[in-house]
Structure 1
Amino acid sequence: MPESRPPITLQGLSLAELQKLIDERRLPPVERWNPERCGDSEMRIARDGTWYHQGQPIRRPAMVRLFSTVLRREPDGRHVLVTPVEKLDIDVECTAFRAIEMQSEGNDRDRRIAFRLDSGDAVILSREHPLRVVETDNGPSPRLLVRHGLEAELTRPVYYELADLALADGNEPVGIWSSGNFCPLDAGA
């Protein structure tokens, strides 16, 4: 398993510095691992981002960060924890991650927006990491593509902060530019 890494923080970093940190983080090549041995991890990720094992919350953030590095989403939509020798199903109630903090640099089409995730990782909104809004029973659910089919749902405060930027820009349809990519903020757009 990969080494435990401290979480990335957005405070006091330019987005160029943040991009360098993101690029330096090396994740296991889970997309290349296809072990024959499969099973159930008896784990789940609750809608609020809490990880559980056998019904009990996992209280060690470093352990959750470690598990998050070997998580991927299968083409059939299932979430799995995968190593070179074993693949275990994990129940995910909403999305694998939550975007809990946002930082923006620049304006309009020159803007770049970064999100810090509850896993300790960070993602810059771009063509490779687009945002989509899904309509759910709980209202709109803004989701950012992270990696390997995994998404992060923006927490309400982060979504409102993003919406404030979009409304200030006055784009039609309502949306936001980041890294040269336009992301509409309407469900189904």
Structure 2
Amino acid sequence: MPYEPPPEIAGMSLAELAAAVAERKLPPVEQWSPAHVGDSHMAILADGTWTHEGSPISRPAMVRAFASLLMRDEAGRHWLVTPVQKLSVEVEDAAFVATDVTQRDGALAFRLNTDEIVIAGPDHPLLARGDAETPALYLAVRRGCEARLNRSTYEQLALLADRDWRVSSEGATFSLVPR
């Protein structure tokens, strides 16, 4: 069955966005405790490119599959987890890149470089890092992993901010200014 990416998020209602999020069935990585721990020889570059032994992984379906198995532990290390093995993944900045944002009915919905949709809110907060000269915005995605907002998405979000550089989504308010 061929992969059908979700439609452009700007044309979707909040109900359609929420349905797209709910349709995404992820493996229960949190429930697995594999005995074998090793190195995947994979890396995720700052621009969202996945590599294996230094060569880019060019098949988007493979990247989406690997991304569904990704988690970050309390020490900040990223892992691909299956029922039989846990393999480290080197991540330069964030595991995902937020490539688009839309505002609908009091919610901010982001599209990631893996075509996933994440709705910002209490369970998926926006985090401002860096400093006033070089701010960076991140969105909590799942299992400790984050998405860094790319430049155009950051600019889209800035246009939605109030005069104090804050945005709200799903009842939570987030500052776009690093502290």
TM-score category (smaller protein): over 0.9
Q: Which residue of 1 aligns with 2:176?
A: 185
Residue identity matched to 1:56: S
The alignment status of 1:7 with 2:2, answered yes or no, reads: no
Q: Which residue of 2 aligns with 1:90?
A: 89
- State, as a whole percentage, how many aligned pairs show the same letter: 45
Distance across 2 between alignment mates of 1:115 and 1:140: 19
2:151 corresponds to which of 151, 156, 161: 156
CA 1:6 to 1:40, structure 2 compared with 1: closer, same or farther past 3 Å? farther
Provide the TM-score with structure 2 as the length reference.
0.93
Q: Which residue of 1 aligns with 2:24?
A: 25
**Offset at residue 165 of structure 1 (A):** 1.1
Distance across 1 between alignment mates of 2:24 and 2:3: 9
CA 1:6 to 1:79, structure 2 compared with 1: closer, same or farther past 3 Å? farther
Residue identity matched to 1:64: V
Distance across 1 between alignment mates of 2:10 and 2:168: 22
Aligned length: 177
Given that 1:112 and 1:179 are in contact with CA atoms closer than 8 Å, whether structure 2 keeps it comes out as yes
CA 1:5 to 1:69, structure 2 compared with 1: closer, same or farther past 3 Å? farther
Q: Which residue of 2 aligns with 1:64?
A: 63
**Offset at residue 6 of structure 1 (A):** 3.7
Provide the TM-score with structure 1 as the length reference.
0.89
Distance across 2 between alignment mates of 1:6 and 1:95: 25
The alignment status of 1:141 with 2:136, answered yes or no, reads: yes
CA 1:146 to 1:64, structure 2 compared with 1: closer, same or farther past 3 Å? same
Which aligned segments of 4 or more residues in structure 1 are displaced greater than 4 angstroms?
Answer: none
Distance across 1 between alignment mates of 2:90 and 2:144: 15
Residue identity matched to 2:147: A
Distance across 2 between alignment mates of 1:68 and 1:84: 15
Distance across 1 between alignment mates of 2:126 and 2:117: 14
**Offset at residue 143 of structure 1 (A):** 0.3
Q: Deviations over 1:49-101 (max 9, x none)?
A: 00000110000001100000000001111000000000000000000000001
The alignment status of 1:118 with 2:113, answered yes or no, reads: yes
CA 1:45 to 1:4, structure 2 compared with 1: closer, same or farther past 3 Å? farther
Q: Secondary structure at the match of 1:28?
A: coil
